[in-house]
């Protein structure tokens, strides 16, 4: 009985040691696999962040966007902005039927690339399509140029159809009298990237555009990644005025030179309305 009992105890001890060793190895292997997965995920995330990061200078600046932004159209043949010069097609004026309403609840955001005002109350019609306003933002100096000359500030009013077709109205600003719209948002402009200010102010976007609504029209792209093409551009021919102080306030809240250089026209038709 003693020999038999000792044998049973000895067998159980061996089994226990082997089982513990096996569990220890499995746990270590599982931890190693989890750590490897985490490291792979971290590396992938880091790689994606590096690939998708863009700016207005250095090795992530505009000249490299087509290389570093996955799936972008930044290297396409119908890109924006452009210089309005040379031969343009004279067209009989076609009104855009702007319908901008008063708005009193605004989100003013510094997204690290521009100062953006989210304002969803407005629309216009072109070629039987209704484009709804979603936001406007700024670039300094201007992105579009006129006969090679730039303006100190340009605003883009971004509109989208129900089918996600995009149209942008561009407005140039030159230094002069204080601008009534910019005066409304002047003190609300966030100075830190990533900051949003929720404000209750009333603005009439009809006053943002020049009195004369003559414009240049062409088909281009977004001027920031992913540089989506097929965008209908309407750039007002007559600039608005803004005070030097207003221009500097908005300019200083944005990255230096947050404009994309003009792009080749590539035989696109530029219409003068």
Read off the pLDDT of residues 80-100 as tens digits, 9 standing for 90 and up. 999 999 999 999 999 999 999
Residue 226: inside a domain: yes
> By mean pLDDT, which of 79-83, 200-204, 265-269 is the weakest?
200-204
Residue 18: inside a domain: no
Query: Using CA atoms, how far apart are residues 199 and 186, in angstroms rounded to an integer?
Result: 12
Q: What is the mean pLDDT of the chain?
A: 84
The whole domain housing 129 covers 76-272
Find the CATH number of the domain harbouring 105.
3.10.200.10
Residue 89: inside a domain: yes
Residue 105: inside a domain: yes
Residue 13: inside a domain: no
Residue indicated by tokens 């989210």: 118
pTM of the model: 0.80
Specify the number of domains making up the chain: 1
Residue 16: inside a domain: no
Strands 115-118 and 129-139 come out as antiparallel
Cite the active site residues. 113
Q: Does 31 have pLDDT greater than 50?
A: no
Report pLDDT digits (tens) over 146-176.
999 999 999 999 999 999 999 999 999 999 9
**Over residues 63-78, mean pLDDT:** 96
Q: Does 48 have pLDDT greater than 60?
A: no
**pLDDT tier for residue 52 given thresholds of 50, 70 and 90:** low
> By mean pLDDT, which of 47-56, 66-75, 115-124, 250-259 is the weakest?
47-56
Residue 41: inside a domain: no
Structure tokens at 202: 């009333």
Residue 37: inside a domain: no
């Amino acid at each position: 009985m003693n020999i038999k009992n000792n044998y049973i105890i000895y067998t159980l001890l061996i089994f226990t040691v082997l089982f513990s060793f096996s569990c220890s190895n499995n746990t270590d292997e599982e931890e190693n696999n989890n750590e490897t997965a985490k490291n792979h995920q971290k590396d992938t995330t880091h790689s994606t962040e590096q690939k998708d990061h863009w700016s207005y200078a250095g090795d992530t600046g505009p000249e490299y966007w087509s290389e570093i932004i996955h799936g972008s159209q930044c290297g396409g043949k119908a890109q924006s902005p452009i210089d309005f010069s040379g031969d343009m097609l004279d067209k009989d004026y076609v009104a855009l039927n702007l319908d901008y309403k008063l708005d009193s609840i605004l989100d003013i955001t510094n997204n690290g690339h521009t100062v953006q005002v989210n304002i969803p109350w407005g629309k216009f019609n072109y070629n039987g399509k209704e484009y709804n306003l979603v936001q406007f933002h700024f670039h300094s100096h201007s992105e579009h140029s006129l006969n090679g000359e730039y303006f100190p500030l340009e605003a883009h009013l971004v509109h989208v159809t129900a089918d996600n077709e995009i149209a942008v109205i561009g407005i140039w600003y030159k230094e002069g009298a204080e601008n009534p719209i910019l005066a409304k948002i002047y003190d609300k402009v966030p100075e830190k990237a990533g900051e949003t200010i929720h404000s209750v102010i009333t603005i009439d976007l009809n006053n943002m555009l020049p009195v004369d609504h003559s414009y240049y029209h062409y088909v281009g792209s977004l001027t920031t990644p992913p540089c989506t093409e097929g965008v209908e551009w309407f750039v007002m021919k007559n600039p608005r005025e803004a005070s030097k102080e207003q221009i500097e306030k908005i300019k200083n809240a944005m990255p230096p030179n947050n404009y994309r250089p003009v792009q080749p026209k590539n035989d696109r038709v530029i219409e003068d309305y």
